[in-house]
A and B are shown apart, each in its own frame.
Chain A
Amino acid sequence: MSEHTFQPRIIAFCCNWCSYAGADLAGVSRLQMPADFNIIRVMCSARVAPEWIIKALLNGIDGVMVLGCHIGDCHYISGNHRAAKRFVLLKEMLAFVGVHPDRLLVDWVSASEGRKFQTLVTEFSKRVKELGPCREWQVEIQTPQR
């Protein structure tokens, strides 16, 4: 696959209370964004199980974003505290098994930060494009779908 045609597949986990609204704001403000990401709405960034990210990256997703409320603004008070700690460790583990840590992005987007959402998605998409497909050397193995 040449770099020119490579279209990364990105999952963005957005928390219901801040980041999803931020993404929504970016949308209604008609900000230009790459179209290669899919948003999955979760109730809190702490709901994002690290296993999901591991599974996504092993199964053909090229990059994962986890976006939550700013520290201190969590709807559940301390959910994003836990997310912050978990994913910084997960990055280290992914790097150790040969997945580039830049394929996972954790950041905070509030409901009013449509512009920040746009910047994050654009930059991340660019970065993942540079990195190329994740695990292309094992694409022939397919998991049966339910």
Chain B
Amino acid sequence: MTEFTLQDQIRDRAKQLLASEQVKCVIGYEHGSRGQVRPAFIHQINDVDSLVWNQGCTHNLVTYLRDIKGTFGSDEHLQRVAIIVKPCDSRALNVLLAEKQIEREHIYVIGVVCTGIVEGAGYAGQSSDKLQTRCVRCSDRVPVIYDLLVGEPTHPEITDDYVDLTELEAMPPAERAAFWLKQYERCILCYACRQVCPGCYCSTCMFERDDSLWVGIAAGVKEKEAFHLGRAYHLAARCIGCDECERVCPMELPLSLLNHKLAKEVQRLFHYCAGDEPSQSPLATMLAEGEEFPA
């Protein structure tokens, strides 16, 4: 019963941190009213025992750090937050750290060794035994950044083969355009993908500004496509592939495909994988010596 012990370790540490007032809040997972796992914000020691860890902990909690940004008090009373991260989530932390969105000393990172999250996690009664696609191709078992590591580190030999992209890449361009148009037509512009994304932290999204020369006011397919392509591009070399956007999409658009494709190209062109280190994206830096574009 490894998971039982992992959960116990998380609870123990959360208790210590809250008791010693090292942190003000622990962001973790708990069981929802219908049995599904949901994010939890623990402020009281009494509530710590509701924290859980299992294969249904799909949420990327780093998203919630965005909401506490700027709420830290003066240095006299540093209000730190503890956060539970999976390996994928920890890479989002690195992205935010590189972009100076959070301060390292403001967060206490409880990293959990992850063996994959199951399909349908986060929704009551939809959980299955099958691993999510992103987890099948993921070789990260250990968070890239943590203060406390929970679990036994392993390093399986898995390489991302981008198998989900092959079908689309093989299509003729016109068909591919039609495929995406059909998908974007279904979009209802609820912006859930943007809200859940740890990388989308602009206080006013470019695509929702009053000055909507960027995206027209019509909710037409062109505006939807411009939004999705623009968002995907904003996340290029920053998206860590947690696929939360796809999970929360009420219309079940295959949003992760475009992000995954961009990650693939960034890897090919710049040999860069978002979040591996707290470093700036290659799109924001100068060309290296001898590097030449356009090819």
Chain A residues with CB under 8 Å of chain B are: 50-51, 54-55, 58-59, 71, 78, 81-82, 84-90, 92-93, 95-100, 106-107, 135, 137-138, 141, 143-144, 146
Nearest-Cβ distance from residue B113 to partner chain A, whole angstroms: 33
Nearest-Cβ distance from residue A132 to partner chain B, whole angstroms: 11
Asked whether, in the complex, the Cβ of A97 is within 8 Å of the Cβ of B294, the reply is no
Residues of the A chain whose Cβ atoms lie less than 8 Å from the Cβ of B285: 81-82
- Given A58-B225, A97-B180, is A86 in contact with B258 using a C-beta cutoff of 8 Å? no
Asked whether, in the complex, the Cβ of B173 is within 8 Å of the Cβ of A51, the reply is no
Nearest-Cβ distance from residue A102 to partner chain B, whole angstroms: 11
- Given A88-B269, A99-B177, is A93 in contact with B217 using a C-beta cutoff of 8 Å? no
- A sample of 25 cross-chain residue pairs with beta-carbon separation below 8 angstroms, ordered by A number, consists of A51-B226, A54-B233, A55-B226, A58-B226, A81-B286, A82-B285, A84-B294, A85-B283, A85-B287, A86-B283, A89-B233, A89-B262, A92-B265, A93-B261, A93-B265, A96-B168, A96-B261, A98-B175, A98-B177, A98-B179, A106-B294, A141-B221, A143-B216, A143-B218, A143-B220
Residues of the B chain whose Cβ atoms lie less than 8 Å from the Cβ of A144: 216-218
- Asked whether any CB of chain A lies closer than 8 Å to the CB of B158, the reply is no
Q: Report the interface size class on chain B.
A: 35 or more
Nearest-Cβ distance from residue A124 to partner chain B, whole angstroms: 13
- Given A89-B283, A143-B222, is A97 in contact with B229 using a C-beta cutoff of 8 Å? yes
Asked whether, in the complex, the Cβ of B233 is within 8 Å of the Cβ of A146, the reply is no
* Residue of chain A at shortest CB distance from B220: A141
CA A58 to CA B180, docked complex, whole Å: 13
CA A107 to CA B221, docked complex, whole Å: 31
Nearest-Cβ distance from residue A63 to partner chain B, whole angstroms: 15
0 or 1 for each of B206-221: is its CB under 8 Å from A? (1 = yes) = 1000000111111011
- Asked whether any CB of chain A lies closer than 8 Å to the CB of B293, the reply is yes
Asked whether, in the complex, the Cβ of B178 is within 8 Å of the Cβ of A98, the reply is yes
CA A7 to CA B46, docked complex, whole Å: 72
Nearest-Cβ distance from residue A87 to partner chain B, whole angstroms: 7
Nearest-Cβ distance from residue A136 to partner chain B, whole angstroms: 11
CA A143 to CA B226, docked complex, whole Å: 12
Which B residues from 266 to 282 make CB contacts under 8 A with A?
A: 266, 269-270, 282
- Asked whether any CB of chain A lies closer than 8 Å to the CB of B292, the reply is yes
CA A87 to CA B283, docked complex, whole Å: 10
Residues of the A chain whose Cβ atoms lie less than 8 Å from the Cβ of B176: 96-98
Residues of the B chain whose Cβ atoms lie less than 8 Å from the Cβ of A98: 173-180
Q: Which one of A78, A92, A138 lies within 8 Å of B262 (CB-CB)?
A: A92
* Residue of chain B at shortest CB distance from A79: B286
- Asked whether any CB of chain A lies closer than 8 Å to the CB of B232, the reply is yes
Residues of the A chain whose Cβ atoms lie less than 8 Å from the Cβ of B295: 88
Residues of the A chain whose Cβ atoms lie less than 8 Å from the Cβ of B284: 82
Residues of the A chain whose Cβ atoms lie less than 8 Å from the Cβ of B180: 97-98
CA A97 to CA B265, docked complex, whole Å: 14
Asked whether, in the complex, the Cβ of A84 is within 8 Å of the Cβ of B218, the reply is no
- Asked whether any CB of chain A lies closer than 8 Å to the CB of B62, the reply is no
What 4 additional pairs, Cβ within 8 angstroms, besides A97-B176, A98-B179, A106-B294? A51-B230, A89-B283, A93-B261, A97-B229
Nearest-Cβ distance from residue A70 to partner chain B, whole angstroms: 11
- Given A58-B225, A81-B287, A93-B233, is A88 in contact with B293 using a C-beta cutoff of 8 Å? yes
- Given A54-B226, A141-B221, is A96 in contact with B269 using a C-beta cutoff of 8 Å? no
CA A93 to CA B263, docked complex, whole Å: 10
- Asked whether any CB of chain A lies closer than 8 Å to the CB of B236, the reply is yes
Residues of the A chain whose Cβ atoms lie less than 8 Å from the Cβ of B179: 98
Which B residues from 151 to 189 make CB contacts under 8 A with A?
A: 168-169, 173-181
Residues of the B chain whose Cβ atoms lie less than 8 Å from the Cβ of A100: 173
* Residue of chain B at shortest CB distance from A97: B180
Asked whether, in the complex, the Cβ of B258 is within 8 Å of the Cβ of A96, the reply is yes
CA A74 to CA B244, docked complex, whole Å: 39
* Residue of chain A at shortest CB distance from B287: A81
